[in-house]
Each structure stands twice: as structure tokens, then as C-alpha cells.
A and B are shown apart, each in its own frame.
Chain A
Amino acid sequence: MTQFTTLSSQVVSLPINDVDTDQIIPARFLKATDKSGMGDHLFADWRYTSDGSPEVDFILNKPEARGAQILLAGNNFGCGSSREHAIWALTGFGFRAVISTSFADIFRNNALKNGLIPIAVDLETHHDLFDLFAEIPDAELTIDLATQTVRLPDDRRVSFPIDSFSRHCLLRGVDELGYILGFEKQIGEFEARLVDY
């Protein structure tokens, strides 16, 4: 698993609620059989015009988005399809954390498995953050996974929830499949007890 400890970065603001995974990566890009190149198609239908040129008004095409590794999005981010391609598109573009008030369950799971941190904050903090980046677009946030905090430019610290197992895996770069494989013996014993109709 991709390791994550701390991150200081500028932020891209996308104040849209209920961003679904079809917007993050439209289905026509799911015919690929590998994970690479998905970043080019991130938010494709919002990011490019019908002739394929960049949509100048879209935030990812603006200079301030360059190099930003944190996405600040509206409520209920990542709903809809289970496609992990949505995560590969976000990480392929360079994002390592998304901030919202809530995340769809499958999206959250997929994100944690790829070193993309879903940071859920309360509504008030969420509003404050949008206000902050509207005022100072190049402000930076610092995410510290060990303490589960986001530090704002005014030194205010906001904590965020993450289950202790995922935090441990991300901090140490633990491979989840390796962890389950460690239970080989118990899985075998469990299977031996399974009743086959």
C-alpha cells in the first residue's frame, strides 16, 4: 500500500455537492485493463470541451491547480459506481487527499487502499475552508495522519476520523492483502467447517 504520513499542499476547491464517480471518471474510460493514464481523464466531461480542448473555466485547468495535492469538494463525495478507476484518476492527477463532509462507503474504502486520504470535516469547518481558499487561493493545508489533524494557515487544527487499522496500514505502508494472507490457516479451518448444501 502507498504510505502516507504528512502532506503540506495547496488546495483545489470544487464546491459541488454529490460528485459521483461517473463525473470523476466517465464510464467510457473504464475499458482500460491497467491503472495508468487515468489522471488524464479525471473529471473529463467538466475539464474538456467537446473538441477535447481544456475548458478554461474549470478549476483543474487554472494555474492555481497545478501541483495541488488536496481536493476540497462539496458534500457526499464519490457516490455511485464502485469503480476504483475514480481513485486512480484522482491519484493519477496527483491528489493525495480529498476533503468533504462525507464520502460514499465504497469510495472511502477504495481511497484508503490507494493512499488517498478521505478527510471528513463538519459543515462549519467545510464552509470555513471554502471561504479561506476563495480569499487566499494559494494557501496551504498540512495533513498529519498520525495525529489525524489538518492544520490551517492560521495554525488552527481540525481533527478528522479514520479507523485505527487503516491509519496503521497507511502510516506503515502495510499491505492489506498480505495481512489477510496471514490468516491462511484460519481460512482453511473455516472452509473445512462450511456446510455444503
Chain B
Amino acid sequence: MAQELDSPAILYIDLHLVHEVTSPQAFTGLRERGLKVRRPDKTVATADHSTPTHDLSLPIADEIAARQIRQLEANCRDFGIQLYDMSHPDRGIVHVIGPELGLTQPGMTIVCGDSHTSTHGAFGALAFGIGTSEVEHVLATQCLLQRQPKTCEVRLDGRLSPYLTAKDIILALIAKIGIGGGTGHVFEYTGMAIRSLKMEERMTVCNMTIEAGARAGLVAPDETTFEYLAGREFAPRGAHWERAMTGWRELTTDEGAVYDQTITMDVSTLEPMITFGTNPGMGMKITGRIPDPDHLPDANDKLALTKALTYMKLRPGEKLLGQPVDVVFIGSCTNGRLSDLRDAARVLKGRTVAPGVRVLVVPGSGAVKRQAESEGLDRLFKEAGAEWREAGCSMCIAMNGDQLKPGQYAVSTSNRNFEGRQGKGGRTFLASPLTAAAAAITGQISDVRMVMA
């Protein structure tokens, strides 16, 4: 929008998504300065992180969480912001409802006080996470100070084999380039493999782009994008749709575009991926063996892997296949959409959860829940022995009571396996919904291709 010499650009924000955890201190800042929200019409809020996923008609047991949610309600009321509150049928995880409602559109700038805002890049929007200070800036001015990032093309060639998913692509990419591999960059995904993915799958890839250190990941919009958007509540209609399409069709990758860096990956040779350590870059093929710290040349890397394996209580050189698990979590902004639940259902259909394993299936939004129920997926999950919950972030961030007990092992479709992420002392293996469901029925880490053979 504007830029002074030696200063960052002032970037105008088209859509500001707000949730309960990273916004209270920003609203306090506005009140202290006597400022209004500049564009409440470009601001949308929901509560997702600290919300319970059991019966929502009951009062929230955690008083501190309840206070935070009430605070969001009061802030939205006072500043005139549309809130998808606890009783709204379309509430849910902010990165699931934005696209679902058609709020997320190509060419937009989108921010949210949440690192997984990168999800919305799947629509060819520039979308990235910000801190609470910046949330306050955007609330007050609809603008953000921004330095131009470096660019990185991630070209995904080839075609996925059966039982391979978008989650396996992004886990393989992060394992390849490391969790700091994308720092300072925005990724643009190109190539046949990304083109052949559906919107929900593209969202999974963009969602975890932040786990490679890149703040944002983009996919140029195409017919798949437009088809997804058409008819959604906040998508343009009639003549407005035609006008929007004219603009959106121009958002293609420039012929001969030059990037600061290019990474290529052939997805046709991928195998189902799983993480073994305590960051999303510590991933491997499900048939692989846990790497040995002694084989690493760098002393710091050696130390990091040793620390991770000590926390995970795993031994180098061993396979993860056959590793017993206590919990399976299917959900989150990474893999909590309808196609993810259908994937899990495909494996669980006609089978039962292994004895002693707790399986949580948590839809990403109220709409996902309704659609899944209309297809009978809830019955299928419950008959298999899984818990069918209300929408929210749930065990991905363990702020709402859904959490691992110390020492437990979980296969999780979420995005982070950091120490304690899913509950203090809990140990997380990140994987696709197919791989998670395979673990649910076998009670151990399993190759879904074998389970389904």
C-alpha cells in the first residue's frame, strides 16, 4: 500500500482471522489507546483452541479457558466483529472454517495470530501467521509492516501411489529440507503433483509449510480452486463472481518466474511417512529404521537427535513398525476436513479399534461434523470403537482437556510432535489419517498398505 525509504512496506490485509488465544492482549491494547477496529467487516473470529470437544451444551469445566472464551465474546461484541461462537453451527478451527465459508479467496492477503494461517495459501492467497502485537496493528489499521520475503519454488513432480496422501508429501518435504529449511522464504508449490491434489489436500500441504520454517506457502489458483469456491457463503455471486474470476484467472505462475531457490521432489517414489522424533523434520518412511545419532557428522545434530530419542524412549537402528501406541488422534487444521475423515473411515470400516487403544476423531468444524454424520461416518467410527467429538483444535495443542498422559504414545494427524505438545510427557508420531487409522485397528504403528492388502 505504501513504503518509505529504508522502511518496511505497509501491507493492506484483506482478511483478518481472530481466535481466543492470541487476541485478548491485542484488544486490551486497543482499549488502552482508545482505538476502534478499523474494518470489522474484514475481521472474523471463532474460538477453537481452548474449547471442549465433548457435549457443548455443558458449561466449560476449565474456568480459565471459559474466561478466555468469554473475553473473546465480549471483545467481538464491543468492537463489532462477527464471531462464530460456541453455539454457531458453522464454528470450528479457524483454518477450516475460513475456506469452508468462502472467506478465503485467491489473491487476498490473510493473517491470523496463528502460525498455521499458511493453510489459506492453498487458494493462491498470501497468508501467514502473526504475533499478538501485529494482531493489534491489523485490528487498528488493517495494515501490517512487512519486509519482502525470499521466494522458493517447491516443484512436486509425479503421481502419488495408492494410500499415499498430501500429508506424506509435506512430511517428506520437511524431512528433506529440515524445520529451518524454509526460514525467510515464501514457498510456491508448482508441478503436476500439486495440480492433481484437491483443495483439502492442498490445504494440508500449505498448512505444514510453516513446519519447514517458511511462513507462507502458495498454490496458484486453477479450476480446482474455483470449483471449490463456487456457491460458498461468502464467495462472490452472479456478476460479482464473473468479475472476481477475471482477476483470479490472472493469478497464475509467471512463465519463466525466477525464485531465490528451487526445491524439487518426485512424489511417485514416496512411501507413507511417520515422524520418530520431537520436531516435524524428524520423519522417515514408515518401513524405515530410526537414525543413529552416532552417524551424524554435526555435534549439535547428534545432541538434538539423542535428546529426541531419549524423550521418545526409542532406540536408534530399530524400526517403528510394530511400535505399540496408546492413543490415535484424527483431526486438526492439518487433517480435520471431510476428506481426512473419509480416509480414516476407509480403514476403520468393518474393523474395530485394538483393545486398550483410545481413538479420538475430531472434525475440524461444525460443517465437517454435519457432512460426516450425513454420510454415516460418525456411526462407523463409533461402531469401530472410536470417540466422535465436537469440532476444535483438541489434542493437537492439548489446551482443552484432550491430552496425552505422560509417557503415552500417540499417532496423530496433527502438525507438531514437539515435546509435550499433546500433553506433558506425551510422545507423538505424526502421520496421515490413513496411517493413523491403521494404527488404531492394529494397536501399533503399521503400514496401511499391508493392513488394506
Residues of A whose CB lies within 8 Å of any CB of B are: 15-18, 20, 22-23, 26-28, 30-35, 45, 50, 74-76, 79-85, 87, 102-106, 109-110, 113-114, 163-165, 176-177, 179-181, 183-184, 186-187, 190-191, 195, 197
Contact = CB atoms under 8 A, between A and B. Distances in A.
Nearest to B67: A33
A110 B215 CA distance: 13
Interface residues of B, number: 75
B133 A110 contact: yes
Contacts of A102: 180, 183
Given A26-B420, A31-B67, A84-B22, 19 more contacts: A16-B304, A16-B307, A22-B421, A27-B397, A31-B64, A34-B25, A76-B183, A81-B114, A84-B113, A84-B133, A105-B149, A106-B131, A176-B137, A177-B29, A177-B136, A177-B141, A180-B137, A186-B10, A187-B141
B387 interface: no
Contacts of A80: 115, 211, 416, 418
Interface in B349-405: 397-399
Kindly name the residue among A27, A81, A180, A187 whose own CB sees the greatest number of chain B CB atoms within 10 A: A27
Given A33-B71, A45-B419, A181-B141, A82 B133 contact: no
A105 B215 contact: yes
A180 B180 contact: no
A92 to B, nearest CB: 13
Top-5 shortest CB links A-B: A110-B131, A33-B24, A84-B131, A197-B236, A82-B129
A17 B131 contact: no
B7 A20 contact: no
A180 B10 contact: yes
A61 B372 CA distance: 50
Interface string B14-38: 0000000110110011000100001
B180 A177 contact: no
Contact of A76 (B33, B179, B419, B421): B179
B419 A31 contact: no
B250 interface: no
Nearest to A196: B240
A104 B214 CA distance: 9
B115 A33 contact: no
B398 A28 contact: yes
Nearest to A83: B22
Interface string B29-69: 10001000011000000000110000000000010110110
B257 interface: no
Given A33-B24, A181-B141, A18 B243 contact: no
